[in-house]
Structure 1
Amino acid sequence: MTTTGEDHTAAGRGPWWWARWRSAVLDACLALASAIECAAEGFPFARDAGLPVAAGIVFGLVAGSVLVLRRKWPIAVVLVSIAITPAQMGFLMGVVGLYTLAASELPRRIIGALAGMSLVGTLIVTFVRAHQDVVRGDLTIGDWFVPFLSITTSLGMTAPPVLLGLYVGARRRLMESLRERADSLERELQLLAERAEERAEWARNEERTRIAREMHDVVAHRVSLMVVHAAALQAVARKDPEKAVRNAALVGDMGRQALTELREMLGVLRTGEAARVGPSSAVPLAAVGVAAAVAASRVVDEVGDGPCLEDLEELVGQSAAAGMVVDLSVEGDVRAYTAEVEQTAYRVVQEALTNVHKHAVGAKTYVRLAHRSSEIAMQVENEPPPEPGSASSAGLPSGGNGLLGMEERVTALGGVFVSGPTDAGGFRVSAVLPAAAG
């Protein structure tokens, strides 16, 4: 974490208006030096003005001590230095005051006005003093030296501290701007990392739901048929041995198919997990989460080619082999769709037939598929079961996730899903998917 100016100031809080104790000590030392200088210069000033020497020294001490306020009121310090310039006092206070004023956050017009006043004051005082010395004979140099000395002294006392203060102030503002940008960038990066982690967690949850839904669709249908065949096998084992043998073969085939699909799916999951944990162990947590979500999203696509609409006849045939009376009708011109649309349509019909096996054993079922210009519609409707208590006799558990999974699949593709009982006492499942023809 970087340290902002506010944090730095709060960490080293000094007395009164000083941000740090070091600054307070420096200003106190400068004020002491300025007070001593002004007191020493107050002695000749009091003598020339006919004032008591003590008064001149006290005046110099008080005037020089004003420098301690340079960070709080730099304008006042510069004005005091300009005011005592005629007494030839406060040279240190004038230089330090101008530097502090130029380095402050005050408007440039105020800095320029006060610097100009100090320049003019120093120029006038230096010119008058040099001219008096020439008149008294203390200086025997030509008349050209008086203006040269006045201009050089005033510029030397004003320009360097002002330019240095402007440079230091600009550099300080630049450093504060860079520090603020660094802090802002760090906050943005932290926010992005948090959002990435949230997106990764959301993606992981979505993929868990998707994989669970896929495993439910793959396993539930075949296991339901196996249970139905097992019940039929138990019923006809003694009466019709040949039929019992056929049912046993069907149960074995369905069990092997279910195991094969489960083995393929778990194999893909293990491969994706090994790929994430192995070479990318040094990747940050958010990147690992995103990679895990991306790898999980490919699980279903890597398990074979997935079911399609051409497999509906085989699906209906399996239900018919289990004793269900199923009527399949297809309307419209058959055409190809994207793999996702065909797989969703297949799963909806599959899960609807599974629910008939669970809850309406022996009921006649109608499977309708309609190819339209911009959509594909499917409907699975069953009549009331011939025996009211036949659903429970199958002994098939229900977790209540079948309809929810179908609705999630359909709405994820922008389709519409409706399910519910019919007036005749049966049940109807209807879904419409956008065509998205491939």
Structure 2
Amino acid sequence: MSTTGAHVPDDGAGGRPGSGWWWWPRRRSLVFDAGLAAVSALECAFEGATFAQKTGIATTLGALFGMLVGAVLLLRRRWPVAVVLVGIAVSPAQMGFLLSLVGLYTLAASEVPRRITVALASMNGFGTMLVAFLNFEDSMRDSGSHSMTMLVTLIVSALMALGLTAPPVLLGLYVRARRRLVESLRERADGLERELELLAEKALERAERARADERTRIAREMHDVVAHRVSLMVVHAAALKAVALKDPQKASASAELLGDMGRQALTELRQMLGVLRTASVAVSGTAAGTGASSSSVPDGATVVAVAGAALTAAGTEEDEGPCLEQLAALVEESAAAGMGVEFLTEGESRPCGKRIEATVYRVVQEALTNVHKHAAGAKARVLLVYREAEVAVLITNGPSDGSAPTRLPSGGHGLVGMRERVTSHGGGFAAGPTPEGGFRVSAMIPLAAV
């Protein structure tokens, strides 16, 4: 940085240097400096004329020189070092009192290195002390008085120089430190605002992902509930048609079973819709509460709060859901539909966590549904295993016995949904045909979370 070219930010006017009138950020800064320069020019013109009379120089020439020296103050924001050097240069002529004071203040408040500021302030103070000492000596010599010793004169001169030099320098240093503090606080506020915007964007992304995951979960639940119940109802409807005329009593039992299955499907659907309704109310309520206080909360914080509510609502676990104790009833339903199915358990039965138990239940449910769809008349086997750190389930079925398959639609999402359910808990899932021509589905879910 050039010492003579260092600029000074506007003192209280704001704006960026160089963006307005030459090196003034605003018009009022130009007017202010022009006023200071005019006062300084008048002062220096008077002092120059006085100095010219004492030295025998033409008064007009001294006044003109003083006006030029005082007008240098107009350059204080652009070249503060030059202004101080001019003040030091004319100090022996007892000129530039205002020029020196304003120049020292501007120099200390500018971005000029402090060592240069200290050096120039020391030079100015020493020059002022020397001029004051010589003036005191001349005054005492002219009056013939020797009431003040040289030591006292030197001390008084030093105090006078200190009083004329230290206050503007200290004030300039204070303004410079305050300006830097304000700039650092402004930069920190801008940084915090940018961080808040980034957090808001990330929260929105997380909320979108959570909503997508929730939609996927809802689709899985709807698929499992509707597909299984409707598949059994279709199987029973086909059996009812076959025995309606031959065995009315059995047909009546099948019709009653059909009604029970329909009611169970409706109950599960109502539970699912109730969870969705509760989550929607939670998100909308939080958004409304945040919006009511938006006058005191930044937009980024509002977005983060609403997105956080969406994440919380999306991650809320169902209040009610299937559990492992209901697996026996699930197997009995398939057996009642004509499937030869066997249910076995190994290990000590214990609670495994609501979501894990619901996942195992849905895997078994979907596997049995697939047996009804794709392997009519096949025998199935369900094995539930409780281990120390995990719970596992294995569903296998043999090949179809050649019975006419029941025409049931298939969307091809059953195995994908089962895999997503299991892997979301950090478990393992495998499915594929067996060497005997059947099919097997196995899932393992760790109990670390529980």
Task: Report if aligned partners of 2:378, 2:400 keep a CA contact under 8 Å in 1.
Answer: yes
- The one-letter code of the counterpart of 2:214 is E
What is the DSSP-based 3-state SS (H/G/I as helix, E as strand, rest coil) of the residue aligned with 1:328?
A: strand
**Offset at residue 254 of structure 1 (A):** 0.2
Partner of 1:397: 409
The CA distance in 1 between the partners of 2:384 and 2:283, in whole Å, is 41
1:43 is the counterpart of 2:55: no
Q: 1:217-228 to 2 correspondence within 5 Å?
A: 217-228=224-235
**Offset at residue 24 of structure 1 (A):** 2.2
**Offset at residue 99 of structure 1 (A):** 0.8
What is the DSSP-based 3-state SS (H/G/I as helix, E as strand, rest coil) of the residue aligned with 1:282?
A: helix
1:421 is the counterpart of 2:433: yes
1:173 is the counterpart of 2:180: yes
Partner of 2:121: 115
Q: Tell me, which stretches of 5 or more residues in structure 2 are unaligned?
A: 1-10, 292-301
Partner of 1:355: 370
1:406 is the counterpart of 2:424: no
What is the DSSP-based 3-state SS (H/G/I as helix, E as strand, rest coil) of the residue aligned with 1:200?
A: helix
- The one-letter code of the counterpart of 2:363 is V
The CA distance in 1 between the partners of 2:176 and 2:388, in whole Å, is 72
**Offset at residue 289 of structure 1 (A):** 4.2
What is the DSSP-based 3-state SS (H/G/I as helix, E as strand, rest coil) of the residue aligned with 1:384?
A: coil
The CA distance in 2 between the partners of 1:253 and 1:429, in whole Å, is 28
Partner of 1:237: 244
Q: Could you tell me the TM-score, scaled by structure 1's length?
A: 0.87
**Offset at residue 333 of structure 1 (A):** 4.2
Partner of 2:203: 196
The CA distance in 2 between the partners of 1:152 and 1:332, in whole Å, is 97
- The one-letter code of the counterpart of 2:368 is L
Partner of 2:446: 434
Partner of 1:64: 70
1:379 is the counterpart of 2:394: yes
What is the DSSP-based 3-state SS (H/G/I as helix, E as strand, rest coil) of the residue aligned with 1:213?
A: helix
- What's the CA shift string for 1:54-108, capped at 9, x where partnerless? 4433432332222222122222211111111111111111000111112223333
**Offset at residue 127 of structure 1 (A):** 1.3
Q: Could you tell me the TM-score, scaled by structure 2's length?
A: 0.85
- The one-letter code of the counterpart of 2:309 is A
Partner of 2:257: 250
- What's the CA shift string for 1:3-41, capped at 9, x where partnerless? xx9xx6259931222222222222222223222322332
Task: Report if aligned partners of 1:96, 1:161 keep a CA contact under 8 Å in 2.
Answer: yes
Task: Report if aligned partners of 2:48, 2:63 keep a CA contact under 8 Å in 1.
Answer: yes
What is the DSSP-based 3-state SS (H/G/I as helix, E as strand, rest coil) of the residue aligned with 2:21?
A: coil
Q: 1:9-408 to 2 correspondence within 5 Å?
A: 9=15, 13-137=19-143, 142-144=147-149, 146-147=153-154, 150-274=157-281, 276-277=283-284, 281-284=288-291, 286=303, 287-298=305-316, 300=318, 302-303=319-320, 306-387=321-402, 390-391=404-405, 394-408=406-420
Task: Report if aligned partners of 2:206, 2:311 keep a CA contact under 8 Å in 1.
Answer: no
Provide closer, same or farther for how the CA distance between residues 294 and 318 of structure 1 changes in structure 2, counting only shifts above 3 A.
same
**Offset at residue 279 of structure 1 (A):** 8.1
What is the DSSP-based 3-state SS (H/G/I as helix, E as strand, rest coil) of the residue aligned with 1:281?
A: helix
The CA distance in 2 between the partners of 1:437 and 1:94, in whole Å, is 76
Task: Report if aligned partners of 2:17, 2:23 keep a CA contact under 8 Å in 1.
Answer: no
What is the DSSP-based 3-state SS (H/G/I as helix, E as strand, rest coil) of the residue aligned with 2:50?
A: helix
- What's the CA shift string for 1:251-285, capped at 9, x where partnerless? 11100111122123323433443455458722246
What is the DSSP-based 3-state SS (H/G/I as helix, E as strand, rest coil) of the residue aligned with 1:369?
A: strand
- The one-letter code of the counterpart of 1:351 is E
Q: Which moved more, 1:344-353 or 1:320-329?
A: 320-329
Task: Report if aligned partners of 2:317, 2:355 keep a CA contact under 8 Å in 1.
Answer: no
Among all aligned residue pairs of Structure 1 and Structure 2, give the percentage whose two residues are the same amino acid.
59
Task: Report if aligned partners of 2:17, 2:24 keep a CA contact under 8 Å in 1.
Answer: no
The CA distance in 2 between the partners of 1:271 and 1:316, in whole Å, is 31
Task: Report if aligned partners of 1:265, 1:299 keep a CA contact under 8 Å in 2.
Answer: no
* Cα root mean square deviation, aligned: 2.8
The CA distance in 2 between the partners of 1:75 and 1:183, in whole Å, is 33
- What's the CA shift string for 1:216-250, capped at 9, x where partnerless? 22232111111111122122222332222221111
The CA distance in 2 between the partners of 1:247 and 1:330, in whole Å, is 29
The CA distance in 1 between the partners of 2:186 and 2:447, in whole Å, is 55
The CA distance in 2 between the partners of 1:193 and 1:308, in whole Å, is 38
The CA distance in 1 between the partners of 2:219 and 2:17, in whole Å, is 54
- The one-letter code of the counterpart of 1:18 is W
Q: Tell me, which stretches of 5 or more residues in structure 1 are unaligned?
A: none
Task: Report if aligned partners of 2:45, 2:64 keep a CA contact under 8 Å in 1.
Answer: yes
